A = this chain, B = another copy of it.
Amino acid sequence: MPTARADKQRDLLDGALRVFARDGYSRASIDAIAEAAGVSTRTIYNHYGDKAGLFKAVILDSATRVADHEIALADRLLAHIVDLQTDLVAFGLAWSAHDPATADHFALVRQIQADSAHIDGEILGAWQEAGPVRVRGAVAAHLKAHAAAGLLHINDENIAALQLIQLTAGSVMAAPGARPERIIRAGVDTFLAAYQPSTSYS
């Protein structure tokens, strides 16, 4: 039995991601997606039934892949700490340096958040679990380990992870125009002021 020819499936998900990310669900046309992916429109319907089915598949696929990428990043940069400030800044910079590959994903995330009133709740939940929650958990695990080693004073590692992300990548996204490095350094300083034992005791 012939398996999927070449990697039409991969091409389709990639092209659909690009178009959905730029245009949103409503504006994105099946024709535009088919052309961007180098696939016939009929193939889309054969595989995913309708536009909504394709959208769902794109969301889950992209969220899973990017989360894997980010977790790998955290494992690489946060596993062995030499200097907390230096390493956290490096992590924040890598996180914020959306290579073009992940740029489409984050544009899709904005589309999802804007369109959430029209997206099935189960899909939203599955996306949160496959993406943001999983990543936050991975960062939280690293922070907890360093807390156990005495590098940090942490009550709730999940909140600490959330705050670290908000102070770095979150702040960079909220203030377009400002230089990311400046924002991230300031964010790490604030984070360490709150959580580094030698500086603060909460």
Contact = CB atoms under 8 A, between A and B. Distances in A.
A190 B174 contact: no
Nearest to A163: B190
A22 B136 CA distance: 28
Interface stretch (A51-59, A75-83, A141-149, A193-201): A193-201
Contact of A171 (B163, B190, B200): B163
In the complex, which range does the number of interface residues on chain A fall in? 35 or more
10 contacts: A23-B26, A27-B118, A159-B182, A163-B167, A163-B187, A166-B167, A193-B193, A193-B195, A194-B194, A199-B200
Contacts of A24: 24, 26, 114-115
A189 interface: yes
How many copies the complex holds: the figure is 2
Interface in A55-104: none
A35 to B, nearest CB: 18
A3 interface: no
SS class of chain A's interface: helix, strand, loop or mixed?
Answer: helix
A170 interface: yes
Contacts of A175: 136, 162
Contacts of A115: 24, 114
A123 interface: no
A46 interface: no
A111 B162 CA distance: 24
Contacts of A170: 166, 170-171, 174
A116 to B, nearest CB: 8
